[in-house]
Structure 1
Amino acid sequence: MQQMDGVDGPTAELSGREKAYLYVRDQVLTSPAATGSFLSEQDLATKVGVSRTPVREALLMLQAEGLVEMVPKRGAHVPAMSGRQITELMELRGVLERHAASRALTSGRVPLESMRAALAEQETFATGASVDAARAFIDWDGRFHQVLIDSAGSELLSTTYAGLRARQLRIGLTALFSASDRQHNVCAEHQAIIDALEVGDEGLVHEKINSHLEVTLQILLRA
Protein backbone atom coordinates (compact mmCIF):
# COMPACT_ATOMS: atom_id res chain seq x y z
CA MET A 1 0.00 0.00 0.00
CA GLN A 2 1.26 3.48 -0.75
CA GLN A 3 2.51 5.67 2.07
CA MET A 4 -0.31 7.82 3.41
CA ASP A 5 1.03 10.30 5.92
CA GLY A 6 -1.75 12.82 5.61
CA VAL A 7 -4.88 13.90 3.81
CA ASP A 8 -3.56 17.01 2.08
CA GLY A 9 -3.08 15.35 -1.30
CA PRO A 10 -5.81 14.85 -3.95
CA THR A 11 -8.16 12.23 -2.55
CA ALA A 12 -9.38 11.48 -6.09
CA GLU A 13 -6.20 9.45 -6.53
CA LEU A 14 -6.88 7.30 -3.49
CA SER A 15 -8.78 4.04 -3.41
CA GLY A 16 -11.88 3.61 -1.28
CA ARG A 17 -9.87 1.68 1.28
CA GLU A 18 -7.26 4.43 1.47
CA LYS A 19 -9.89 7.15 1.84
CA ALA A 20 -11.55 5.21 4.65
CA TYR A 21 -8.20 4.51 6.32
CA LEU A 22 -7.16 8.16 6.31
CA TYR A 23 -10.56 9.37 7.48
CA VAL A 24 -10.70 6.98 10.43
CA ARG A 25 -7.04 7.45 11.35
CA ASP A 26 -6.88 11.24 11.10
CA GLN A 27 -10.44 12.37 11.81
CA VAL A 28 -12.05 9.73 14.03
CA LEU A 29 -9.28 8.14 16.08
CA THR A 30 -7.59 11.46 16.89
CA SER A 31 -10.60 12.61 18.90
CA PRO A 32 -10.39 11.87 22.64
CA ALA A 33 -14.17 11.36 22.53
CA ALA A 34 -13.68 8.27 20.36
CA THR A 35 -11.93 6.40 23.16
CA GLY A 36 -14.03 3.47 24.35
CA SER A 37 -16.52 3.71 21.50
CA PHE A 38 -17.49 1.24 18.80
CA LEU A 39 -17.29 2.44 15.21
CA SER A 40 -20.17 1.80 12.82
CA GLU A 41 -19.02 0.54 9.43
CA GLN A 42 -22.18 1.90 7.80
CA ASP A 43 -21.83 5.35 9.36
CA LEU A 44 -18.19 5.52 8.30
CA ALA A 45 -19.04 4.34 4.79
CA THR A 46 -21.67 7.08 4.47
CA LYS A 47 -19.33 9.81 5.69
CA VAL A 48 -16.44 8.72 3.47
CA GLY A 49 -18.66 8.04 0.47
CA VAL A 50 -17.68 4.42 -0.09
CA SER A 51 -19.21 1.01 0.47
CA ARG A 52 -18.75 -0.98 3.67
CA THR A 53 -16.15 -3.32 2.15
CA PRO A 54 -13.30 -0.75 1.91
CA VAL A 55 -14.24 0.52 5.38
CA ARG A 56 -13.91 -2.99 6.77
CA GLU A 57 -10.54 -3.39 5.02
CA ALA A 58 -9.37 -0.07 6.47
CA LEU A 59 -10.42 -1.13 9.97
CA LEU A 60 -8.47 -4.37 9.63
CA MET A 61 -5.40 -2.34 8.69
CA LEU A 62 -5.90 -0.13 11.73
CA GLN A 63 -6.29 -3.23 13.89
CA ALA A 64 -2.91 -4.46 12.62
CA GLU A 65 -1.45 -1.15 13.77
CA GLY A 66 -3.01 -1.53 17.21
CA LEU A 67 -5.30 1.48 16.80
CA VAL A 68 -8.60 -0.42 16.97
CA GLU A 69 -9.75 -3.82 18.22
CA MET A 70 -12.15 -5.93 16.16
CA VAL A 71 -14.69 -7.43 18.54
CA PRO A 72 -16.92 -10.26 17.21
CA LYS A 73 -20.55 -9.12 16.70
CA ARG A 74 -19.70 -5.64 18.01
CA GLY A 75 -17.36 -4.20 15.43
CA ALA A 76 -14.30 -1.97 15.77
CA HIS A 77 -13.58 -0.81 19.30
CA VAL A 78 -11.33 2.18 20.03
CA PRO A 79 -9.28 1.20 23.08
CA ALA A 80 -8.03 3.71 25.62
CA MET A 81 -4.29 4.24 25.83
CA SER A 82 -2.92 3.08 29.16
CA GLY A 83 -0.47 5.09 31.21
CA ARG A 84 2.23 2.63 30.21
CA GLN A 85 1.45 3.03 26.49
CA ILE A 86 1.50 6.81 26.76
CA THR A 87 4.81 6.71 28.64
CA GLU A 88 6.32 4.38 26.04
CA LEU A 89 5.10 6.63 23.22
CA MET A 90 6.69 9.71 24.76
CA GLU A 91 9.92 7.82 25.46
CA LEU A 92 10.06 6.67 21.83
CA ARG A 93 9.44 10.21 20.64
CA GLY A 94 12.30 11.40 22.80
CA VAL A 95 14.71 8.83 21.39
CA LEU A 96 13.79 9.67 17.79
CA GLU A 97 13.76 13.44 18.22
CA ARG A 98 17.05 13.61 20.13
CA HIS A 99 18.70 11.42 17.49
CA ALA A 100 17.34 13.56 14.67
CA ALA A 101 18.52 16.74 16.39
CA SER A 102 22.02 15.32 16.83
CA ARG A 103 22.15 14.27 13.19
CA ALA A 104 20.96 17.68 12.05
CA LEU A 105 23.57 19.48 14.15
CA THR A 106 26.36 17.19 12.98
CA SER A 107 25.46 17.54 9.31
CA GLY A 108 24.76 21.27 9.49
CA ARG A 109 21.22 20.74 8.18
CA VAL A 110 19.31 22.26 11.09
CA PRO A 111 15.88 23.23 9.70
CA LEU A 112 15.52 26.47 11.65
CA GLU A 113 13.44 28.35 9.07
CA SER A 114 11.04 25.46 8.50
CA MET A 115 10.60 24.96 12.24
CA ARG A 116 10.01 28.69 12.75
CA ALA A 117 7.43 28.66 9.97
CA ALA A 118 5.61 25.69 11.51
CA LEU A 119 5.65 27.37 14.92
CA ALA A 120 4.28 30.60 13.44
CA GLU A 121 1.37 28.66 11.92
CA GLN A 122 0.78 26.85 15.19
CA GLU A 123 0.67 30.13 17.10
CA THR A 124 -2.22 31.35 14.95
CA PHE A 125 -4.38 28.64 16.54
CA ALA A 126 -3.12 29.11 20.10
CA THR A 127 -6.05 31.27 21.20
CA GLY A 128 -8.82 29.31 19.53
CA ALA A 129 -11.28 27.65 21.88
CA SER A 130 -13.01 25.37 19.37
CA VAL A 131 -12.26 21.72 18.76
CA ASP A 132 -11.29 22.55 15.17
CA ALA A 133 -8.75 25.12 16.38
CA ALA A 134 -7.32 22.61 18.85
CA ARG A 135 -7.06 19.97 16.12
CA ALA A 136 -5.29 22.45 13.81
CA PHE A 137 -2.95 23.43 16.65
CA ILE A 138 -2.00 19.81 17.28
CA ASP A 139 -1.65 19.13 13.57
CA TRP A 140 0.92 21.93 13.31
CA ASP A 141 2.55 20.58 16.47
CA GLY A 142 3.09 17.31 14.63
CA ARG A 143 4.47 19.10 11.59
CA PHE A 144 6.90 21.06 13.77
CA HIS A 145 8.38 17.86 15.18
CA GLN A 146 8.28 16.04 11.83
CA VAL A 147 10.41 18.80 10.28
CA LEU A 148 13.09 18.12 12.87
CA ILE A 149 12.82 14.37 12.31
CA ASP A 150 13.05 14.72 8.52
CA SER A 151 16.19 16.85 8.81
CA ALA A 152 18.10 13.72 9.86
CA GLY A 153 17.86 12.53 6.27
CA SER A 154 16.69 9.03 7.20
CA GLU A 155 13.66 7.71 5.35
CA LEU A 156 13.15 4.94 7.92
CA LEU A 157 13.31 7.42 10.80
CA SER A 158 10.82 9.74 9.10
CA THR A 159 8.43 6.90 8.27
CA THR A 160 8.61 5.47 11.79
CA TYR A 161 7.85 8.84 13.36
CA ALA A 162 5.02 9.57 10.91
CA GLY A 163 3.49 6.22 11.88
CA LEU A 164 2.92 7.57 15.39
CA ARG A 165 0.67 10.33 14.02
CA ALA A 166 -2.74 9.07 15.11
CA ARG A 167 -1.64 8.33 18.66
CA GLN A 168 0.16 11.66 18.94
CA LEU A 169 -2.85 13.62 17.71
CA ARG A 170 -5.15 11.89 20.19
CA ILE A 171 -2.96 12.43 23.24
CA GLY A 172 -2.07 15.91 22.06
CA LEU A 173 -5.71 16.95 22.08
CA THR A 174 -6.18 15.32 25.46
CA ALA A 175 -3.26 17.31 26.87
CA LEU A 176 -4.63 20.59 25.50
CA PHE A 177 -7.97 20.07 27.20
CA SER A 178 -6.38 18.89 30.46
CA ALA A 179 -4.18 21.89 31.27
CA SER A 180 -4.89 25.60 31.28
CA ASP A 181 -3.11 27.71 28.68
CA ARG A 182 -1.30 24.64 27.36
CA GLN A 183 -1.23 26.06 23.82
CA HIS A 184 0.91 29.06 24.74
CA ASN A 185 3.21 26.91 26.88
CA VAL A 186 3.70 24.46 24.02
CA CYS A 187 4.67 27.31 21.71
CA ALA A 188 7.17 28.59 24.30
CA GLU A 189 8.65 25.10 24.64
CA HIS A 190 8.96 24.82 20.86
CA GLN A 191 10.71 28.18 20.73
CA ALA A 192 13.16 26.96 23.37
CA ILE A 193 14.02 23.97 21.16
CA ILE A 194 14.59 26.27 18.18
CA ASP A 195 16.78 28.59 20.27
CA ALA A 196 18.92 25.68 21.45
CA LEU A 197 19.31 24.40 17.89
CA GLU A 198 20.30 27.87 16.72
CA VAL A 199 23.21 28.10 19.18
CA GLY A 200 24.25 24.56 18.23
CA ASP A 201 24.35 23.18 21.78
CA GLU A 202 23.48 19.48 21.47
CA GLY A 203 23.13 18.94 25.20
CA LEU A 204 20.82 21.93 25.53
CA VAL A 205 18.73 20.77 22.58
CA HIS A 206 18.28 17.35 24.19
CA GLU A 207 17.39 19.02 27.48
CA LYS A 208 14.70 21.18 25.84
CA ILE A 209 13.24 18.22 23.95
CA ASN A 210 13.18 16.13 27.14
CA SER A 211 11.54 18.94 29.12
CA HIS A 212 8.87 19.50 26.47
CA LEU A 213 7.93 15.82 26.29
CA GLU A 214 8.06 15.35 30.08
CA VAL A 215 5.64 18.21 30.71
CA THR A 216 3.20 16.71 28.23
CA LEU A 217 3.61 13.24 29.72
CA GLN A 218 2.86 14.43 33.25
CA ILE A 219 -0.26 16.26 32.07
CA LEU A 220 -1.48 13.10 30.33
CA LEU A 221 -0.78 10.85 33.30
CA ARG A 222 -2.85 13.16 35.51
CA ALA A 223 -5.71 13.41 33.02
Structure 2
Amino acid sequence: MQGNGRAEEAATELSGREKAYRYVKEQVLTSPAAQGWFLSEQELATRIGLSRTPVREALLMLQAQGLVEMVPKRGIHIPAMSGRQIAELMELRGVLERHAASRALADGTVPVAAMRSALAEQEAIATDPGAEAARTFIELDGRFHQFLIDSAGSELVSDTYAGLRARQLRIGLTALLSSSDRVRAVCTEHQAIIDALEVGDEGLVHEKINDHLEITLQILLRT
Protein backbone atom coordinates (compact mmCIF):
# COMPACT_ATOMS: atom_id res chain seq x y z
CA MET A 1 0.00 0.00 0.00
CA GLN A 2 2.84 2.35 0.83
CA GLY A 3 4.36 1.69 -2.59
CA ASN A 4 1.07 2.57 -4.28
CA GLY A 5 0.99 5.82 -2.34
CA ARG A 6 4.44 6.75 -3.62
CA ALA A 7 3.39 5.91 -7.17
CA GLU A 8 0.30 8.10 -6.88
CA GLU A 9 2.39 10.91 -5.42
CA ALA A 10 4.88 10.62 -8.29
CA ALA A 11 2.04 10.73 -10.82
CA THR A 12 0.64 13.85 -9.15
CA GLU A 13 4.04 15.54 -9.21
CA LEU A 14 4.50 14.64 -12.88
CA SER A 15 1.08 16.06 -13.65
CA GLY A 16 1.93 19.25 -11.79
CA ARG A 17 5.27 19.57 -13.54
CA GLU A 18 3.64 19.10 -16.93
CA LYS A 19 0.97 21.66 -16.06
CA ALA A 20 3.62 24.19 -15.04
CA TYR A 21 5.75 23.40 -18.08
CA ARG A 22 2.88 23.93 -20.49
CA TYR A 23 1.71 27.11 -18.76
CA VAL A 24 5.11 28.79 -18.87
CA LYS A 25 5.93 27.61 -22.37
CA GLU A 26 2.56 28.39 -23.95
CA GLN A 27 1.27 31.35 -21.93
CA VAL A 28 4.41 33.20 -20.83
CA LEU A 29 7.22 32.45 -23.26
CA THR A 30 5.09 33.09 -26.34
CA SER A 31 4.48 36.73 -25.44
CA PRO A 32 6.79 39.26 -27.15
CA ALA A 33 6.43 41.46 -24.05
CA ALA A 34 7.93 38.71 -21.88
CA GLN A 35 11.42 39.15 -23.30
CA GLY A 36 13.74 40.43 -20.59
CA TRP A 37 11.31 39.66 -17.77
CA PHE A 38 12.34 38.24 -14.42
CA LEU A 39 9.80 35.95 -12.73
CA SER A 40 9.85 34.22 -9.37
CA GLU A 41 9.06 30.59 -8.71
CA GLN A 42 6.55 31.60 -6.06
CA GLU A 43 4.80 34.02 -8.39
CA LEU A 44 4.44 31.33 -11.03
CA ALA A 45 3.36 28.72 -8.48
CA THR A 46 0.65 31.05 -7.17
CA ARG A 47 -0.51 31.94 -10.65
CA ILE A 48 -0.72 28.30 -11.75
CA GLY A 49 -2.06 27.00 -8.44
CA LEU A 50 0.78 24.61 -7.64
CA SER A 51 3.52 24.18 -5.07
CA ARG A 52 7.00 25.41 -5.93
CA THR A 53 8.46 21.92 -6.46
CA PRO A 54 6.74 21.03 -9.77
CA VAL A 55 7.24 24.61 -10.95
CA ARG A 56 10.99 24.39 -10.30
CA GLU A 57 11.14 21.04 -12.13
CA ALA A 58 9.35 22.57 -15.12
CA LEU A 59 11.70 25.55 -15.13
CA LEU A 60 14.72 23.25 -15.10
CA MET A 61 13.31 21.52 -18.18
CA LEU A 62 12.81 24.87 -19.90
CA GLN A 63 16.30 26.00 -18.92
CA ALA A 64 17.74 22.84 -20.49
CA GLN A 65 15.98 23.85 -23.71
CA GLY A 66 17.48 27.33 -23.56
CA LEU A 67 14.11 29.03 -23.11
CA VAL A 68 14.72 30.50 -19.64
CA GLU A 69 17.68 31.26 -17.41
CA MET A 70 17.55 30.66 -13.66
CA VAL A 71 19.58 33.49 -12.13
CA PRO A 72 20.53 33.16 -8.43
CA LYS A 73 18.87 35.80 -6.19
CA ARG A 74 17.07 37.36 -9.16
CA GLY A 75 14.67 34.70 -10.39
CA ILE A 76 13.80 33.27 -13.76
CA HIS A 77 14.97 35.37 -16.67
CA ILE A 78 13.32 35.18 -20.08
CA PRO A 79 16.10 36.16 -22.48
CA ALA A 80 15.40 38.11 -25.64
CA MET A 81 16.28 36.37 -28.87
CA SER A 82 19.24 37.92 -30.66
CA GLY A 83 19.25 38.65 -34.37
CA ARG A 84 21.55 35.68 -34.87
CA GLN A 85 19.22 33.35 -32.97
CA ILE A 86 16.24 34.54 -34.99
CA ALA A 87 18.15 34.00 -38.24
CA GLU A 88 19.19 30.51 -37.13
CA LEU A 89 15.60 29.67 -36.21
CA MET A 90 14.33 30.76 -39.61
CA GLU A 91 17.12 28.84 -41.32
CA LEU A 92 16.19 25.68 -39.42
CA ARG A 93 12.54 26.17 -40.32
CA GLY A 94 13.50 26.46 -43.96
CA VAL A 95 15.52 23.25 -43.89
CA LEU A 96 12.69 21.31 -42.25
CA GLU A 97 9.90 22.76 -44.38
CA ARG A 98 11.71 22.29 -47.69
CA HIS A 99 12.55 18.71 -46.73
CA ALA A 100 8.94 18.02 -45.76
CA ALA A 101 7.64 19.53 -48.98
CA SER A 102 9.99 17.41 -51.09
CA ARG A 103 9.00 14.25 -49.25
CA ALA A 104 5.29 15.04 -49.50
CA LEU A 105 5.53 15.73 -53.23
CA ALA A 106 7.49 12.52 -53.81
CA ASP A 107 5.12 10.41 -51.70
CA GLY A 108 1.89 12.04 -52.85
CA THR A 109 0.98 13.13 -49.32
CA VAL A 110 0.75 16.89 -49.86
CA PRO A 111 -1.79 18.18 -47.27
CA VAL A 112 -3.35 20.85 -49.48
CA ALA A 113 -6.84 20.50 -47.98
CA ALA A 114 -5.61 20.86 -44.39
CA MET A 115 -3.35 23.80 -45.25
CA ARG A 116 -6.14 25.48 -47.19
CA SER A 117 -8.46 25.07 -44.19
CA ALA A 118 -5.93 26.71 -41.85
CA LEU A 119 -5.48 29.55 -44.33
CA ALA A 120 -9.25 30.06 -44.56
CA GLU A 121 -9.40 30.44 -40.78
CA GLN A 122 -6.57 32.98 -40.93
CA GLU A 123 -8.36 34.97 -43.62
CA ALA A 124 -11.55 34.96 -41.55
CA ILE A 125 -9.86 36.91 -38.74
CA ALA A 126 -7.43 38.93 -40.87
CA THR A 127 -9.36 42.17 -40.37
CA ASP A 128 -9.66 41.83 -36.58
CA PRO A 129 -7.15 44.24 -34.95
CA GLY A 130 -7.38 42.72 -31.47
CA ALA A 131 -4.46 41.17 -29.62
CA GLU A 132 -6.34 37.89 -29.10
CA ALA A 133 -7.03 37.66 -32.83
CA ALA A 134 -3.33 38.22 -33.52
CA ARG A 135 -2.40 35.34 -31.24
CA THR A 136 -5.02 33.10 -32.85
CA PHE A 137 -3.71 34.08 -36.28
CA ILE A 138 -0.17 33.05 -35.33
CA GLU A 139 -1.37 29.79 -33.80
CA LEU A 140 -3.12 29.06 -37.11
CA ASP A 141 0.11 29.98 -38.87
CA GLY A 142 1.88 27.34 -36.82
CA ARG A 143 -0.81 24.81 -37.70
CA PHE A 144 -0.48 25.64 -41.41
CA HIS A 145 3.24 24.91 -41.39
CA GLN A 146 2.95 21.90 -39.07
CA PHE A 147 0.55 20.26 -41.53
CA LEU A 148 3.27 20.48 -44.17
CA ILE A 149 5.92 19.19 -41.78
CA ASP A 150 3.79 16.24 -40.65
CA SER A 151 3.10 15.24 -44.25
CA ALA A 152 6.72 14.07 -44.54
CA GLY A 153 5.83 11.14 -42.30
CA SER A 154 8.85 11.58 -40.04
CA GLU A 155 8.20 11.58 -36.31
CA LEU A 156 11.62 13.09 -35.62
CA VAL A 157 11.10 15.95 -38.08
CA SER A 158 7.61 16.63 -36.72
CA ASP A 159 8.77 16.61 -33.09
CA THR A 160 11.76 18.83 -33.88
CA TYR A 161 9.55 21.39 -35.59
CA ALA A 162 6.90 21.27 -32.86
CA GLY A 163 9.65 21.92 -30.31
CA LEU A 164 10.23 25.32 -31.89
CA ARG A 165 6.64 26.38 -31.17
CA ALA A 166 7.24 28.76 -28.25
CA ARG A 167 9.96 30.66 -30.08
CA GLN A 168 7.94 30.73 -33.29
CA LEU A 169 4.84 32.08 -31.57
CA ARG A 170 6.86 34.83 -29.94
CA ILE A 171 8.65 36.02 -33.06
CA GLY A 172 5.55 35.49 -35.17
CA LEU A 173 3.57 37.84 -32.94
CA THR A 174 6.46 40.30 -32.97
CA ALA A 175 6.51 40.36 -36.78
CA LEU A 176 2.73 40.61 -36.98
CA LEU A 177 2.56 43.56 -34.58
CA SER A 178 5.50 45.31 -36.23
CA SER A 179 3.92 45.66 -39.66
CA SER A 180 0.38 46.89 -40.24
CA ASP A 181 -0.11 44.90 -43.45
CA ARG A 182 1.69 41.73 -42.35
CA VAL A 183 -1.52 39.76 -41.72
CA ARG A 184 -2.72 40.10 -45.30
CA ALA A 185 0.79 39.51 -46.63
CA VAL A 186 1.08 36.24 -44.68
CA CYS A 187 -2.19 35.03 -46.18
CA THR A 188 -0.91 35.87 -49.66
CA GLU A 189 2.39 34.08 -49.02
CA HIS A 190 0.60 31.02 -47.66
CA GLN A 191 -1.60 30.92 -50.74
CA ALA A 192 1.51 31.03 -52.93
CA ILE A 193 2.93 27.99 -51.10
CA ILE A 194 -0.34 26.09 -51.55
CA ASP A 195 -0.49 26.99 -55.25
CA ALA A 196 3.06 25.73 -55.79
CA LEU A 197 2.27 22.48 -53.96
CA GLU A 198 -0.81 21.95 -56.11
CA VAL A 199 1.25 22.44 -59.27
CA GLY A 200 3.73 19.91 -57.92
CA ASP A 201 6.78 22.02 -58.76
CA GLU A 202 9.37 21.23 -56.08
CA GLY A 203 11.65 24.13 -57.00
CA LEU A 204 8.77 26.59 -56.93
CA VAL A 205 7.58 25.28 -53.56
CA HIS A 206 11.06 25.77 -52.11
CA GLU A 207 11.17 29.27 -53.57
CA LYS A 208 7.84 30.25 -52.01
CA ILE A 209 8.83 28.82 -48.63
CA ASN A 210 12.12 30.72 -48.79
CA ASP A 211 10.36 33.96 -49.76
CA HIS A 212 7.90 33.63 -46.87
CA LEU A 213 10.59 33.00 -44.27
CA GLU A 214 12.96 35.65 -45.62
CA ILE A 215 10.29 38.37 -45.54
CA THR A 216 9.49 37.48 -41.93
CA LEU A 217 13.18 37.45 -41.02
CA GLN A 218 13.80 40.90 -42.49
CA ILE A 219 10.83 42.34 -40.57
CA LEU A 220 12.16 40.85 -37.34
CA LEU A 221 15.70 42.11 -37.90
CA ARG A 222 14.34 45.65 -38.38
CA THR A 223 12.29 45.47 -35.18
TM-score normalised according to structure 2 size: 0.92
1:100-179 equivalent positions in 2, closer than 5 A: 100-179=100-179
Amino acid at match of 2:38: F
Distance 1:170 1:187 in 2: 19
What amino acid maps onto 1:172 in structure 2?
Answer: G
What's the secondary structure of 2:129's corresponding residue? Answer: coil
Output one character per residue of 1:15-70: Cα deviation in whole Å (capped at 9) or x when no partner: 01101100100110000110001112222212222111111111111000000011
Q: Structure 2: which 5+ residue stretches go unaligned?
A: 1-11
Q: What residue in structure 2 maps to residue 94 of structure 1?
A: 94
Partners of 1:138 and 1:52 lie apart in 2 by 31
1:1-223 aligned within 5 A: 15-223=15-223
Displacement of 1:206: 0.3
Query: Mean alpha-carbon deviation: is it higher for 140-149 or for 38-47?
Result: 38-47
| More helix by percentage | 2
Secondary structure of the corresponding residue to residue 15 of structure 1: helix
Q: Which residue of 1 aligns with 2:4?
A: none
Residue 7 of structure 2 is matched in structure 1 by: none
Question: In structure 2, what is the Cα distance between the partners aligned to 1:47 and 1:129?
Answer: 28
Aligned residues: 211
In structure 1, what is the Cα distance between the partners aligned to 2:124 and 2:86? Answer: 28
Matched residues in 2 for 1:161 and 1:152: separation?
A: 12
What secondary structure, in the 3-state scheme, does the structure 2 residue paired with 1:110 have? coil
For residues 187 and 42 of structure 2, what CA distance do their matches in structure 1 show?
A: 40
Q: CA deviation at 1:112?
A: 0.5
Where does the alignment leave 5 or more consecutive residues of structure 1 unmatched? 1-11
**Offset of 1:222 from its aligned partner?**
0.2
Shift >4 Å, 4+ stretches: none
CA drift at 1:124: 2.2
Give, in angstroms, the shift of residue 122 of structure 1.
1.8
- The answer for the alignment partner of 1:5 in structure 2 is none
In structure 1, give the amino acid aligned to 2:192: A
Whichever residue aligns with residue 151 of structure 2, its letter is S
Take 2:54 and 2:123, find their aligned partners in 1: how far apart are those partners? 37
Counterparts of 1:138 and 1:188, CA distance in 2: 15
Say which SS state the counterpart of residue 61 (structure 1) adopts.
helix
CA apart distance, 1:182: 0.6
Larger Rg: 2
Aligned AA (1:144): F
Moved more, 125-134 or 70-79: 125-134
% same residue = 80
* Cα separation, 2, equivalents of 1:41 and 1:125: 36
